[in-house]
């Protein structure tokens, strides 16, 4: 990261959906989870859209084509067109088209989303390593993907054919738990071939480039739930970000975040798109204050000296929790070096009430 290390969350007097022209929204853990809409996602996104914010959906999952993702979103009550969805399949197809001859044959190791993305770039998907492909493209193929496809990739990569992967997320959330993702499938081919793929998906530049090219965003805000994909990708691209706590990241992980994983804003869920954000400020005695909350590091332990408010829930309770979380982030991020804060955080998180 070339910019100054972020040690406090950002400030915006105006609501975020008025400040940024386009929200680049991650899907799993942000808009939906396990096939269901995340709490407050449908209403918050409708309000942001009515206010003029452009909403785009950015996913590392290469399995489904944008039209299928858009249909799923619309079914959940989030109206979307195929053109509103950007996938890592599109990003890897552009990368291959940039580096390989026009109309090149590409050994397809993946699903319909990747097939359509290759065709859209004028590339010709083939099924066998014997078809003399110029490249191998690997994306998530779904839970029933045949093992023999990995063998096909292995033959081609070992023979020296350039290898590309849509993304390397090791896991993928399913309704029943955590399942192997495309990153795990890439490892299978790596073990068989000894090769090394070029990767397109978040947090890497090809995905960010694809997103900006397709949305035309001038002032984008990345909204995500994962520090090492969504937020790291935003930071690498020099774009502001909002982390929501509805997915894989909890308060402990956020407080321990290394500099490249720190978001501009934090929120409990997508309602925080519709409000302004207060930045914590340093007091002379080393404490950090946000709203009525006050935090510091004392003897290596993160301490919430005063919480935001005495409410037990509801909107004001959420606001108080967020002020506490922002003050704690500032205290932990300022105290933690390049490797992040490694002191005790459990007590502070407990007093935060999340």
The residue ranges that bind Mg ion (CB under 5 A) are: 26, 28-29, 225, 247
Which residues, in sequence order, are bridge partners of residue 243? 224, 266
d(CA 9, CA 231): 13
CB of 327 to Mg ion, least distance (A): 26
Give the nearest residue (CB) to Mg ion: 29
Which CB sits closer to Mg ion, 29 or 125? 29
CB 223 within 8 A of CB 242: yes
Catalytic pick from 17, 21, 28, 299? 28
Smallest gap from Cβ 28 to Mg ion, in A, equals 4
Tokens encoding 20 = 């940024």
Q: Which of 17, 21, 26, 285 is catalytic?
A: 26
Distance of alpha carbon 334 from its chain centroid, rounded? 24
Least spacing, CB of residue 173 vs Mg ion, in Å: 8
Compute the distance between CA of residue 244 and CA of residue 6 in angstroms, rounded to an integer: 18
List of long-range contacts for 314-320, beta carbons under 8 Å, 24+ apart:
318/268, 318/271, 319/291, 320/291, 320/292, 320/293
Nearer to Mg ion, 244 or 330 (CB): 244
125 or 203: CB nearest Mg ion: 203
**Residues present in the chain in total:** 354
Reply yes or no on whether 28 is catalytic: yes
210 vs 225, which CB is nearer to Mg ion?
225
**Minimum gap (Å) between residue 244 Cβ and Mg ion:** 9
Strands across the sheet with 135-138, in order? 124-126, 105-109, 135-138, 163-165, 198-199
- Cβ-based nearer residue to Mg ion, 235 or 307: 235
Least distance from C-beta 33 to Mg ion, angstroms?
Answer: 9
Residue identified by tokens 């090219």 is: 213
Q: Whose CA is closest to 66, among 22, 102, 111?
A: 111
Task: Give catalytic residue positions.
Answer: 26, 28
């Amino acid at each position: 990261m070339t910019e100054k290390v972020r040690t406090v969350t950002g400030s915006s007097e105006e609501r975020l959906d008025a400040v940024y022209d386009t929200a680049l929204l991650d899907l799993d853990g942000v808009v939906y989870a396990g096939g269901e809409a995340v709490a407050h996602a449908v209403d918050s996104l409708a309000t942001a859209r009515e206010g003029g914010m452009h909403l785009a959906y950015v996913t590392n999952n290469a399995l489904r084509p944008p039209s299928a993702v858009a249909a799923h979103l619309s079914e959940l009550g989030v109206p979307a067109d195929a053109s509103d969805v950007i996938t890592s399949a599109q990003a890897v197809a552009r990368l291959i088209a940039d580096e390989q001859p026009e109309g090149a044959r590409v050994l397809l190791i993946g699903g319909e989303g990747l097939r359509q993305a290759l065709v859209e770039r004028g590339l010709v998907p083939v099924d066998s390593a014997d078809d003399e492909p110029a490249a191998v493209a690997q994306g998530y193929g779904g839970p029933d993907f045949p093992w023999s496809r990995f063998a096909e990739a292995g033959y081609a990569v070992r023979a020296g054919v350039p290898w590309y992967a849509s993304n390397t997320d090791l896991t993928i959330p399913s309704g029943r738990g955590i399942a192997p993702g495309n990153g795990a499938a890439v490892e299978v081919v790596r073990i068989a071939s000894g090769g090394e793929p070029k990767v397109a998906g978040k947090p890497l530049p090809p995905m960010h480039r694809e997103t900006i090219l397709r949305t035309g965003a001038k002032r984008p805000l990345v909204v995500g739930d994962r520090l090492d994909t969504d937020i790291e990708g935003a930071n690498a691209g020099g774009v502001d970000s909002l982390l929501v706590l509805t997915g894989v990241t909890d308060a402990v992980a956020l407080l321990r975040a290394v500099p490249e994983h720190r978001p501009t804003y934090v929120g409990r869920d997508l309602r925080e798109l519709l409000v302004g954000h207060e930045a914590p400020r340093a007091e002379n005695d080393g404490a950090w204050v946000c709203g009525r909350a006050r935090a510091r590091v004392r003897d290596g332990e993160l301490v919430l000296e005063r919480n935001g408010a005495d409410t037990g829930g509801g909107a004001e309770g959420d606001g108080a929790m967020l002020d506490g979380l922002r003050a704690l982030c500032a205290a932990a991020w300022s105290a933690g070096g390049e490797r992040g804060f490694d002191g005790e955080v459990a007590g502070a998180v407990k007093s935060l009430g999340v």
